[in-house]
Structures are given as structure tokens and as C-alpha cells.
Amino acid sequence: MSSPSREQWNSSLGFILAAAGSAIGLGNIWRFPYITGQNGGGSFVLLYLIIVFTIGLPVMYLELSTGRFTQRGPVGAMEKLAPGSFWKIIGYLAVITGIGILSYYSVVAGWTIWYFIKAIFQGFGGENTGTAFSQFVASAPHQLVLLGVFLGLTTGIVISGIKGGIEKISMILMPVLFLLMIGLIIYALTLDNAAAGLKYYLIPKTSDFTKTTFIFALGQAFFSLSLGMGAMLTYGSYLSKKENLVKAGFLVVLFDTLIAIMAGLIIFPVIGGAPEKAGAGLVFVVITELFCTLPGGRILGALFFLLLTIAALTSTISLLEVAASWLMDEYKMVRKKAALIVSGITFVIAIPSALSLGASKSLSSIIKIGGEEKGFLGIMDFLFGNLSLAIGGLLIIIFVVFKWKLKNAEDELYHNADRFRFLSLIMKPLIWFAAPAAIMVVLGFMLFTGKTLS
Ligand code: PFF
């Protein structure tokens, strides 16, 4: 049960920036470019955009409406709308997925801290950026300490509370990140390879589609928009009835997608075509190369990695918040205890991911997915960052349509936003048919065609 004095956002802008802060993170700047590179470039981008607006946006609206209506996190929301029923599983799946994502996400976020420190004390010149990256991720002490530091930072902010912590940080820093990225795009576009890179990135070719393109595009859309695990639902629960959900949700989707596309506009002009090897290191290697050639690259590099660390933080805060708010709502735990318990468990689960980029040979290469050899971190990313989110998104749709009823969700969505009711004409068929059908086809395809993933 939530207390009557549940915290609320100070302003609509505060919510939009904080929700955009959850959405915008490593998913846009680290994951989007390398998944695009692995899946053929332009066609992936096109498919991604279609999925974001036809599946992502409707699911975003369902999560925000459910959260604001119930004023609870995912477990409490299901309990309130369907007391004592199995629907609560959606909430538990959300909590588990949040911890699963947080574990490996914090490892990658630790890298951003390291690159920030490196820019300040050493700079990026005079070394092969690829080799430097491989050596760094293979060092167990580096990986474990940075993981601990990053999780510690996330926990500290979550403990400091909704308004004080999350809102302020997002409000100031997201616009700075945006401006810096615009500057980097302009510079990247002046490079010799730019035209070839843009061609690969922006022009779709049907031959680029592979069996796995769709699942990766769907997974990336959910991951990037923080959907399918109750993060947006939880943020919606802190939103007041006065706010216009239609507008707020749309702006979050728009900003998030813009930043992802912008990240590609920095990376691909530097590479100049299909990346030779598009793995988890792609962005770290390519962007440090860019900073090597850029006048003032060291200072800008430091600023870039600092902002990336903060963008990652505003995302991990929401990942931790889902599990912590469950403990607070259901077990009446105080915020501090709840956050510490979740982050302690997450640290332990994160250890194999931290060691899976070279420190431990057996954890570094386990299975082939999408033609790429995956280690423990890659498997966690695929299971939690792709599959679980897609399943969670599908379950939320099914829950709203069959249990809570779409009419109720719509009433909440269009509350104080009556002039947008016409959107229902598009949203209804998307929610009833298109979105669930697409997700089910993708999941079914994976389950029933044995070799889909190799
Ligand atoms: N959307 C975040 C990103 O793109 O980095 C990651 C994320 C945050 C996924 C919160 C899921 C979530 F619930």
C-alpha cells in the first residue's frame, strides 16, 4: 500500500526531463549504434523508427496511465487493479528484469567513469584505442571497482528521494548533453569518411535484413524507451492528475529517439561504412578516436564521458527505483534500506558480467547470438534487455486489454487532455492488434525456429 503522502514531481517539465533521463542513457549512445552496426545499418534504423512509434509509444501510454491511475509501482499496480490474482506476476517480472538490466548496465556505465578519468589524466592520444579498450575491460580489478563506484552513486541518488535527487540532475544536464552531441555531429560530418558512413547508416537496403533484425529492433526500442519492466509505470505513479500524459509521453519518446539517431550521426561518419567488428566496445573505441583528432579533444572527451556517466545514472536510478519502490510499497521499508538491499543483490549478480570481457575466459565466450559470440554480459543483455522487456510489454498490453480494460486506461490517458481523444482511432487498433501481434510473432519465431539466433 502506498502512503497518502506519496511523493510527486514538482512540475510537468520535471517529469518529462526525468522520464527522458530514464529513457536516454547507454541504450541510445552505446547500444543503439553497435546494434545498428550489427544489423546492417539503414534498414535497421528504419525498422527501429517504425517500431518506436507503432509499438513503443502505445506501450508507453499504457504504462504511464496504469502508473498514474494506481499511484503504485508495477507489483502494487497489478495488486490494486486485479487483487489476489496471477497478474501480479507482471510486477515480479518487472522487478527481476530491472535488477537483471541494472547488473550489466552498471558494468558498462563503469567504463564511462573510467574514460572520463582517463581523458582528464592521460588523454586518448598515442595508443591504439581498440587495444586499450580490450586491455581495460579484461582487467578484473578495474571492472569490479568501477562497477562498485557506479552502483554506489546510483544508490546514493535513489536514497536522496524523488524530487531532490532525480529531478534536479536531469533538469540541468540533459540539455548540455544534447548541445555537446550537436557539436560532435557537426565535426564528424566534416571528416573524409562522412558521406560513406551516412549512406550506410541512413539508406535502407532490403538485403540488410536478417532473421534477427526484428527481434533486435524490437528489443532495442523497449530498452531505449525504458519500457516493458514498469520503469515508466513507476514514474507515472509520481505524476499528478493535472498533467497531460499524451503530451508528456510523446515528448519522452521523441527526445529519446532523437538522441539515439544523433548518436549514430556521430559514430557512422567516423567509421565510414559498416563497422568491421561491431561489439560492445564500438562506441568507446570510435569516439575516443574522434577525440584524438579533434582540437580540444581531451577536454571535450572528458565532458562527453562525464555527461554519458550522468545519462547512465538517470537511467539506473529508474532501474533501481522499480525494485526499491516495490520493497517500500509492499513491505513498508524505508527508502534507504530498500535501495541498499536491491543494490547489494545487484552487485553480486553483476560480478560475472564484469568479468566476462576478458578477465575470465570461460565467461567471455559462451554462445553465438545474432552471429556474434556472446559472453555472460551479452547473454544478460539479450535475456533481460531484449526478451524480458518484449515479454513484459506484451503482458502489459494483455493486462490492460483483458483485465483493466482499454477504456479505463484511455480515460486516464486523456484526463486533462481531452483534445487528443481522436488519437484513440489510431491507438486502439495498434494496442488491440498490431503491437501484440508483432511482439508475438517475434517471440514465437524465436522459440519455434531452433536456429534463429545463430
Ligand atoms: N532506457 C535506458 C537506456 O536507454 O539507457 C535503459 C533502461 C532504463 C531500460 C530503464 C529499461 C528501464 F526500465
317 lines ligand 1 (CB under 6 A): no
Continuous H helices in 203-331: 213-224, 231-237, 245-271, 282-293, 297-331
234 lines ligand 1 (CB under 6 A): no
Q: Which residues pair with 373 in a beta bridge?
A: 368
Q: Is residue 385 part of a domain?
A: yes
Q: Is residue 270 part of a domain?
A: yes
* SS3 at position 25: coil
* Ligand 1 mutation pick, 112, 224, 252, 316, max ligand atoms within 8 A of CB: 224
CA-based nearest residue to 286, from 359, 212, 377, 188: 188
229 lines ligand 1 (CB under 6 A): yes
User: Domain tally for the chain?
Assistant: 1
Q: Is residue 6 part of a domain?
A: no
Rounded CA gap, 274 and 264, in Å?
Answer: 12
224 lines ligand 1 (CB under 6 A): yes
**Residue 77 lies in domain:** 12-449
Q: Is residue 159 part of a domain?
A: yes
Q: Is residue 365 part of a domain?
A: yes
23 lines ligand 1 (CB under 6 A): yes
**pTM, whole model, 2 decimals?**
0.93
Instruction: Give pLDDT, residue 229.
Output: 95
CA of residue 191 to ligand 1 center, whole Å: 31
Looking at ligand 1, which atom is closest to the CA of residue 23?
1
* Residue 131 burial (C-beta neighbours within 10 Å; 0-12, 13-18, 19+): exposed
CA-based nearest residue to 442, from 390, 392, 378: 390
One digit per residue, the tens of pLDDT, for the chain of length 454 reads: 444 456 676 677 777 877 888 899 999 999 999 999 988 899 999 999 999 999 999 999 999 999 999 998 899 999 999 999 999 999 999 999 999 999 999 999 999 999 999 999 998 877 889 999 999 999 999 999 999 999 999 999 888 865 555 566 666 777 888 999 999 999 999 999 999 999 999 999 877 777 678 888 999 999 999 999 999 998 898 888 888 999 999 999 999 999 999 999 999 999 998 887 778 899 999 999 899 888 888 999 999 999 899 889 989 988 998 899 889 988 999 999 999 999 999 999 999 999 999 899 888 888 877 667 789 999 999 899 999 999 999 999 999 999 999 999 999 999 989 999 999 999 999 999 989 998 998 888 776 654 444 4
Rounded CA gap, 435 and 396, in Å?
Answer: 11
Indicate the Cα dihedral angle 375, 377, 381, 384, nearest 10°.
110
Residue 257: CATH number of its domain = 1.20.1740
Q: What are the residues whose beta carbons fall under 8 Å from the beta carbon of 66, sequence distance 6 or more?
A: 77, 81, 233, 236, 396, 400, 404, 409, 412
Q: Is residue 276 part of a domain?
A: yes
Q: Is residue 1 part of a domain?
A: no
Q: Is residue 31 part of a domain?
A: yes
CA of residue 68 to ligand 1 center, whole Å: 20
* SS3 at position 373: strand
